[in-house]
Copies of this chain bind each other. A is one copy, B any other.
Amino acid sequence: MTAFESLFARMQELKDLSGVLGLLMWDQETYLPRKSEPARASQNGTMQALYHEKLTDPRVGEWLAKAEAEPLSDDQRAMIRVFRHERDRAVKVPAGLVKAIAEAQSHALGAWREAREQRTFKPFQPALAEILKLRRQQADAIGHDGERYDALLDGYEPGMRVTRLTPVLQSLREKLVPLVATLSEAAAKKPDAIAGRTFPKDAQWKFTIKLLEAMGFDLDAGRQDLSIHPFTQSTHALDVRLTTRIDEQNPYPALFGTIHEGGHGLYEQGFAETDWRTPLAAAPSMGLHESQSRLWENIIGRSRAFWEHFYPSLKQHFPAALDAVSLEDWLRSVNRVARTLVRTESDEVTYNLHIVLRYEIELLLIRDQLPLDELPGEWNRRIDALLGVRPKDDVGGVLQDIHWAWGEFGYFPTYSLGNLYSAALWKAMRRDRPELDDRLRRGDLLVAREWLREKVHRPGFRTSAEERVRAATGEGLTDAPFLEYLKQKYGALYGVAV
C-alpha cells in the first residue's frame, strides 16, 4: 500500500465514525428515552474519544508526510488538505485541555440554565470566565498571527480572518441601521394578518412534506422528524435527517423551519457520489452551509414568486385560518420587519445586526478587552444603539443564546456570512437562469436545486467557501448583493423608497 492508500482507508473509517456520531446526535434529539441521557453521554464520549484516537494516531502523521511526496491527483491533494486541517487542529490541542474544555462546557451549560432561571447574568459569569480562558488557551495552542479570534473562527469558517471579516460587517452595519429604521416603520403601519389564528398540526406536517418534495429533497435518502430545536444531521449523503417544530398558534416555525433545514439537507444530499466516503463530501464552511438554508428559507421561501404558486395550496390546508387573508397580506406577514430583542425570532433585515453585536462583543472577550462585570450593560447599550430596543432583563439580552455556554466563540459570524453568500449566489443564479422567476412562479423549484447542486453542492470541500462563491458568482465576500436584494424586495413590498 502507498502512504496515500493507508491514509485513504483511515479517512473512510473516520467518515463512517462521523456518520455514526451523527446518528447518536440525531437520536438524542428525537427518540432517546428520557432516562437514558447519561448513558448516551457515556456512549457519545467513548465514540468521540475513539474518533480522536484514530485521527491523531501518529501513523497518520507519517502517512501524511509520505503521501505528499507521492504522485497524487488534484482530488487526492484536496483530500489531504482538508484532512490535515482537521487533524492539525486536533493534534495541536493537548489532551488535558480538550478534557478541561469538555468539563467547562458541561459546567457552563448548567450555569447558563441556572442564570436564565434567575433572569440575571451573575450566576453564569464565573463559568463563562473559565470557558473563555480555556478557549484562549486553545486558540494559542492552535496558533495565530496575533489575533486569537482567527484560530477559533477558522474552526467554523476555514480560511476566514478578522482582518477580512470586520470591514465587511462594519459596512453592513452602517447600511442596515437606516434601512431597518425605514422598513420597520413602514411595516408597523399594518397589523399582522395572521395573528391569533390556529393552524392544525396534521395539516402543518403534511404541508412541510409537500414543500420538501417540491424542493427536490429525496425522502428515500433522508427523513423529517420532530424535535424541540430543529436541525439537520446527516449520517451519509444518502441518509440526511431534518427536524421541524410545529406550533399550532404560529405556522412559521414549521413552514420556514422546514424550508431552512431543507436547504441544509439538499447540500448534504448533493455531494458527488465519488466523494461520499472522503473528506471532500463536506461543506467548506459553516457560512456556506448556512447560505443554502438562508437562500431557500428567505430568498426563495419568502418570495412573491414562490407564494404565487404555493399560497392557494396553503389556503386549502388551512381554510379556517387563511380564508380571509390575501396573498398580499400573507407576503407582508412573512416578511414583517421589526426591531426586536431576540435573534432567533428576527427577520432577515434586522438579523445581521444581531450578529454584528455578538461578533463585536466576542472579539472584545477573546482579546480580553471587556471585563465580564460590564458584559450585560455593554450588550444592552449596543443593542439599543443598533436597534433602538433595550432588554428588560438578561434573558432577553446577554443570556439569550446557548452558544457561549457551549464555548462556541467564532460561530456567530458564519450566520452573517451565510446571508451574504446566499444573496451573491441568488444574483448569479438569476444571471445564469433568466427563466428562474417564471419557473418558481410555476412551483418548479428544481431549477434552483440544480444550479446550487452544480455550483455549490457537488464540488464539496475542494476549495474554501469564499473561493467557491467566487467561482460561482464572479466575486468574493461582499455585502453588495445582499443589500441590493433587501432594497429591491422590501422597497416593492412596502412601497417605500430605500
A238 partner, pick from B12, B31, B35, B46, beta carbons under 8 A: B35
Contact A46 B17 (CB under 8 A): yes
Residues on B with C-beta less than 8 A from A39 are: 19, 235-239, 276
- Shortest distance from the beta carbon of A173 to any chain B beta carbon, whole Å: 42
Interface residue tally on A, bucketed by range = 35 or more
Residues on B with C-beta less than 8 A from A34 are: 220-221
- Shortest distance from the beta carbon of A13 to any chain B beta carbon, whole Å: 5
A33 partner, pick from B12, B32, B239, beta carbons under 8 A: B239
Residues on B with C-beta less than 8 A from A16 are: 42-43, 45-47
Contact B239 A36 (CB under 8 A): yes
A385: Cβ under 8 A from any B Cβ: no
A451→B12 CA distance, assembly (Å): 49
Residues on B with C-beta less than 8 A from A12 are: 46
State the oligomeric state as a number of copies.
Answer: 2
- Shortest distance from the beta carbon of A266 to any chain B beta carbon, whole Å: 15
Contact B220 A43 (CB under 8 A): no
A257: Cβ under 8 A from any B Cβ: no
A40→B20 CA distance, assembly (Å): 9
A14→B407 CA distance, assembly (Å): 30
A23: Cβ under 8 A from any B Cβ: yes
A36 partner, pick from B17, B32, B43, B221, beta carbons under 8 A: B221
A315: Cβ under 8 A from any B Cβ: no
- Shortest distance from the beta carbon of A261 to any chain B beta carbon, whole Å: 15
Residues on B with C-beta less than 8 A from A276 are: 39
- Shortest distance from the beta carbon of A235 to any chain B beta carbon, whole Å: 7
A24: Cβ under 8 A from any B Cβ: yes
Residues on B with C-beta less than 8 A from A220 are: 33-35
A60→B488 CA distance, assembly (Å): 68
A374→B83 CA distance, assembly (Å): 56
- Shortest distance from the beta carbon of A270 to any chain B beta carbon, whole Å: 14
Residues on B with C-beta less than 8 A from A98 are: none
Closest B residue to A42 using CB positions: B16
> Which of A31, A35, A36, A42 has the most CB atoms of chain B within a 10 A radius of its CB?
A36
A487: Cβ under 8 A from any B Cβ: no
- Shortest distance from the beta carbon of A40 to any chain B beta carbon, whole Å: 7
Residues on B with C-beta less than 8 A from A325 are: none
Residues on B with C-beta less than 8 A from A38 are: 238
A81: Cβ under 8 A from any B Cβ: no
A27: Cβ under 8 A from any B Cβ: yes
> Which of A12, A17, A239 has the most CB atoms of chain B within a 10 A radius of its CB?
A239
Contact A33 B221 (CB under 8 A): yes
A223 partner, pick from B19, B33, B43, B235, beta carbons under 8 A: B33
- Shortest distance from the beta carbon of A52 to any chain B beta carbon, whole Å: 13
A357→B106 CA distance, assembly (Å): 57
Contact B27 A27 (CB under 8 A): yes
Contact B277 A33 (CB under 8 A): no
A219: Cβ under 8 A from any B Cβ: yes
Q: Which residues from chain A sit less than 8 Å from chain B, CB to CB?
A: 12-13, 16-17, 19-20, 23-24, 27, 31-36, 38-40, 42-43, 45-47, 50, 218-223, 225, 235-239, 276-277
5 A-B pairs closest in CB distance: A36-B239, A39-B236, A16-B46, A35-B221, A36-B238
A–B Cβ pairs within 8 angstroms, 23 of them = A12-B46, A16-B42, A16-B45, A16-B46, A16-B47, A17-B46, A17-B47, A20-B20, A31-B225, A32-B239, A33-B220, A33-B238, A33-B239, A35-B221, A36-B236, A38-B238, A39-B235, A39-B237, A39-B238, A39-B276, A40-B235, A43-B235, A43-B236
Known contacts A12-B46, A31-B225, A39-B239; can you find 6 more A-B pairs with CB under 8 A?
Answer: A16-B46, A27-B27, A32-B239, A34-B221, A35-B221, A36-B239
